[in-house]
Amino acid sequence: MSQLTLLEYKEEELINLKEASKYASLYTNRQVTVSNISYLIQYGRIIKYGNNGNPLVNKKELKEYYDSFNKEEQWKKILGKDLNWHLSFVECKESERTKHVHRLHPYKGKFIPQLVEYFLDSHIDEFKKEVFFHKGDIVLDPFCGSGTTLVQANELGMHAIGIDVSSFNALISNVKIEKHNIPLLAEKIRKLTIKLKNFQINRKNIEFEEHLLSELSKFNLQYFPSPEYKRKIRNNEINEKEYGAKKEKEFLEIYKKLINNYQIKINQNKDDTFLNKWLLAPVRKEIDILFGELQSIHDKDIKKVIAIILSRTVRSCRATTHADLGTLKNPVTTTYYCKKHGKICKPIFSILGWWKRYSVDTLNRLLEFDKLRTNTIQICLAGDGKTINIVEQVKTRNSKFADLISEKEIRGIFSSPPYVGLINYHEQHAYAYDIFSFERKDKLEIGSLSNGQGKEARESYVQGISEILINCKKYLQDDYDIFLVANDKYNLYPTIANLAGMTIVNQFKRPVLNRVEKDRSAYAEIIFHLKEKRNDI
């Protein structure tokens, strides 16, 4: 970091991107990269001066942008003075919040690894007064999701067990924390990529898409110049809805002509399954090629990792708009005006680019995690947390670990239970269940979106969470510590704790700053600290 101070920057000074990065880092007391500044320019948050060879920004405008982004006092006015801003982890870059294997596969509703680190690691924070977990302890996450707790437990030198009712969630978690033969995996991926490329030879899809991209580039450059177009929208100089719809209609004629010229079949013959409905015909054919090759792989570990790469690829290649990746609405089979990117975009016609991108990314993330990996054990079990016998199930996977659990017992829990009526956890990965024919257990989900948030749904939620805690207590040490991350807007957790024979000894309200939802309003979640309820003597 440069030794420049804020006083060295004149109020109206134009500075280059490197200087802007240094200034913003000093001003915000967090690392702001050149890429971050480029992003602000690209999306019209600040104006670009100079030229493409030497882009400049106005220091005053940059300062005003970050001033408007300072949320602490605003959020405390809305959510209360008890908001623990220290637990916002605002200083963490996006790459730190999604470090190594944490971004191996998309997953709704996961917490950031820094939150796990804070409560598990006794050395991570000078503000902590109490220490609850130590190296060598066993941690349990009975709502494992995508395995964040398990991964961080490994980093911190702790053993961990996860439980999840979703078989696919368990697969994601186990692929993240298991040790893999990277050279063998890389070689298998290389061969699969060659198979996919050979399949594409003599097909018109690639030539069609290249032509389409060329036409899109010319059209978007003329009618949606960046960043001027987005800035005009922000200043209400353009009615985005009307203008976007008009240009979408204009380009649609070009698209239809190309489809006809190249004789591209867009729709599949049926739409009775997820894959039939949400994938264009060219994409489905390529996926079937890779899936057929996947079936012939004998190495179970290699097969699991490649299944995750294929699943991630399929998710990105669904026929939907960029703005609706998380909440599918209607299949998109034509070019369309994209509100997210502020231009005309297209559906996906080939998986090759995404497959190659995610293959490289997966290998890099696994290698990165290997550098941090400790000699500890983590396992995610697929099952119902209300009834599962943890020791017996672990024994089928690792008998020594099962013996350790029986002898030492589990120190405590760090987990984020599902929220009431927020997510359908099986449905978010419907494509994976369709591809791999996993058994769906939607009826065992707690707090499913399909059940709503009414009185009956809340009562069912309370019962389900408390039953899981009661079952898990059998395997915990007497003086256990449980930390549950929840947005308890219905005040259900005091009842849950009481039913489970526990008491809430503390709670921490943290702001959630980096939400993926379109609603970015002030939002907080509570970390409840529970212990066994003791009868006074």
Task: Decide if 470 contacts 500 (C-beta within 8 A).
Answer: yes
pLDDT digit string, tens, across residues 84-107: 888 888 777 788 889 999 999 999
Give the pLDDT score at 125.
Answer: 53
What's residue 386's pLDDT? 97
Q: Which of 313, 289, 297, 316 is nearest to 187 (CA)?
A: 297
Pair of tokens at residue 184: 């063998």
pLDDT(507) > 70? yes
Give 3's pLDDT tier (boundaries 50, 70, 90).
very low
What per-residue confidence (pLDDT) applies to 64? 79
pLDDT of residue 8: 45
Report the DSSP beta bridge partners of residue 509.
83, 526
Taking residues 169-185, what's their average pLDDT?
A: 97
Give me the pLDDT at residue 184, please. 97
Looking at the DSSP assignment, which residues form a beta bridge with residue 16?
56
* β-bridge partners, 424: none
Q: If pLDDT is split at 50, 70 and 90, which confidence band does 132 have?
A: very high
Whether omega before 113 lies within 30 degrees of 0, making that bond cis, reads: no
Q: Which range has the worst mean pLDDT, 33-47, 190-204, 260-274?
A: 33-47
| Interatomic CA distance for residues 528 and 537, integer angstroms | 26
Mean pLDDT to the nearest integer, 316-330: 83
Q: For residue 11, what pLDDT is reported?
A: 46
For residue 63, pLDDT beyond 80 = yes
Q: Would the pLDDT of 404 be above 50?
A: yes
pLDDT, average across residues 333-359: 94
H or E element that contains 38: helix 34-42
CB atoms within 10 A of CB 140: 27
Q: Which domains does the chain have, with CATH numbers?
A: 6-68 (no CATH), 72-102+111-179+373-532 (3.40.50.150), 182-364 (no CATH)
- Rounded distance between C-alpha atoms, residue 9 and residue 66, angstroms: 15
Beta bridge partners of residue 50, listed in sequence order: 55
Asked if residue 146 lies in contact with residue 105, where contact means CB atoms within 8 angstroms, the answer is: yes
Q: By mean pLDDT, which of 91-100, 220-229, 270-279, 429-438 is the weakest? A: 91-100
**In the predicted structure, residue 442 carries a pLDDT above the cut 50:** yes
Picking from 169, 158, 146, 175, the residue whose alpha carbon sits closest to that of residue 415 is 146
pLDDT at residue 227 in the model: 84
Mean pLDDT of 141-170: 97
Q: What is the dihedral of CA 242, 247, 252, 257, to 10 degrees?
A: 160
The mean pLDDT of the chain is 90
Position 131 scores a pLDDT of: 86
Confidence of residue 537 (pLDDT cuts 50, 70, 90): very low
Helix (H, G, I), strand (E, B) or coil at 399: helix
- Confidence label for 519 from pLDDT (cuts 50, 70 and 90): low
- Kindly provide the residue ranges of all beta strands, DSSP E only, lying in 397-475, ordered along the sequence: 410-415
Whole-structure pTM over 0.75, yes or no? yes
Weakest-pLDDT range from 22-36, 254-268, 423-437: 22-36
With b for 16 or more beta-carbon neighbours within 10 A and e for fewer, the 179-216 pattern comes to ebeeeebeebbeebeeebeeebeeeebbebbeebeebb
Higher per-residue pLDDT: 193 or 37: 193
pLDDT at 72: 78
- Least confident stretch, 361-365, 480-484, 485-489: 485-489
- Residues in Cβ contact with 86 at an 8 Å cutoff, skipping those fewer than 6 apart: 127
pLDDT computed for residue 363 by the predictor: 98
Report percent pLDDT > 90 for the chain: 68
Which residues does residue 410 pair with via DSSP β-bridges, in sequence order?
476
Token digits of residue 479? 């003086």
Is the pLDDT assigned to residue 129 strictly greater than 70? Answer: no
The residue among 330 and 371 whose pLDDT is bigger is: 371
Lowest mean pLDDT, pick from 55-69, 196-210, 424-438: 55-69
The DSSP 8-state label assigned to residue 263 in this structure reads T
